[in-house]
Amino acid sequence: MTRFERAMKVLAVHEGGYVNHPRDPGGATNKGVTQRTYDAHRKRLNMPRRSVREITQAEVFAIYRTQYWNTVSADDLPAGLAYCVFDAAVNSGPSRAAKWLQSIVGVPQDGIIGAHTLAAIGGSGSDVPAVIDAYCDMRLAFMKRLRHWPTFKNGWTRRVSEVRAQSKKWAVGYEVAPSETPAQPKATRPKMNWLAALLSAIIGAFRK
């Protein structure tokens, strides 16, 4: 599984299916893709307009790959941080997601993650989990300033929290899905072969 496919698998938990919340500025959305984004995608391919309800999984992957993952250079970002920035790009736009990262690593905020930004991340000896924490803090602070915060604050807060946790686990090479609590190992009693147990009982009886 590629890093993109792994990220998409987790992202799907947050995006869900078709919704058209009257207070959502994005309007009708399916699997995280708005009607406007879907229209633009099909127009570029000279395909007729249709409802985002009918979007295919192949189209979903193509849109996320070209318009978000590739746009924020996720393949070139450190593990964990790639997913963190990708999810923010989907939620708040690639340019803003890139500028948050550039602000944290101290490079000009032009909204394009290129060689200069990547060098700042790798050359500064960045503690990736610490960068992820700073990034998620900045993202949540931005959300709190939005006028729709009172309506969507619970879902947005949960999403950022889960993205933070998953990103940090991937950053250190440990994978856990959102909201998943690792099961505690159960104490088990060693199994005894029934034949061995029978022979042991017979021998014990003769020794008495």
Q: 3-state SS of the chain?
A: CCHHHHHHHHHHHHHCCEECCCCCCCCCEECCEEHHHHHHHHHHCCCCCCCHHHCCHHHHHHHHHHHHHCCCCHHHCCCCHHHHHHHHHHHHCHHHHHHHHHHHHCCCCCCCCCHHHHHHHHHCCCCHHHHHHHHHHHHHHHHHCCCCHHHHHHHHHHHHHHHHHHHHHHHCCCCCCCCCCCCCCCCCCCCCCHHHHHHHHHHHHHHC
**Domain region containing 68:** 3-177
What is the band of 25 on the pLDDT scale with cuts at 50, 70, 90? low
Looking at per-residue pLDDT, the higher value among 100 and 190 belongs to 100
Strands, sheet with 18-19, edge to edge from the N-terminal-most edge strand: 18-19, 29-30, 33-34
- The residue assigned the tokens 């990103």 is 167
- Kindly state whether residue 73 falls inside one of the protein's structural domains: yes
- Kindly state whether residue 68 falls inside one of the protein's structural domains: yes
Q: What is the pLDDT of residues 35-58, one digit of tens each?
A: 999 999 999 999 999 999 999 999
92: CATH: 1.20.141.10
The whole-number pLDDT of residue 123 equals: 60
Q: What is the mean pLDDT of residues 25-31?
A: 80
The whole-number pLDDT of residue 37 equals: 92
- Kindly state whether residue 63 falls inside one of the protein's structural domains: yes
The whole-number pLDDT of residue 95 equals: 97
- Kindly state whether residue 32 falls inside one of the protein's structural domains: yes
Q: What is the mean pLDDT of residues 124-152?
A: 91
Average pLDDT, rounded, for the chain: 83
- Kindly state whether residue 207 falls inside one of the protein's structural domains: no
Domains: count for the chain: 1
The whole-number pLDDT of residue 12 equals: 85
What is the band of 207 on the pLDDT scale with cuts at 50, 70, 90? very low
Q: What is the mean pLDDT of residues 29-38?
A: 90
Distance in angstroms (rounded) separating the CA atoms of residues 159 and 148: 15
Q: What is the pLDDT of residues 4-24, one digit of tens each?
A: 999 999 988 877 678 877 666
Distance in angstroms (rounded) separating the CA atoms of residues 168 and 146: 26
The closest alpha carbon to 52, from 66, 38, 63, 40, belongs to 38
Residues with Cβ < 8 Å from 64, sequence gap 6 or more? 8, 11, 32, 33, 90
Q: What is the mean pLDDT of residues 151-168?
A: 94
Supply 45's token pair: 């391919």
Q: What is the pLDDT of residues 88-122, one digit of tens each?
A: 999 899 999 999 999 999 999 999 999 999 999 97
The whole-number pLDDT of residue 32 equals: 84
Percentage with pLDDT > 70 across the chain: 78
- Kindly state whether residue 188 falls inside one of the protein's structural domains: no
Least confident among 79-83, 117-121, 125-129, 142-146: 125-129
- Kindly state whether residue 197 falls inside one of the protein's structural domains: no
Residue 29: strand pairing partners: 19, 34
Q: What is the pLDDT of residues 169-189, one digit of tens each?
A: 999 875 444 443 333 333 333
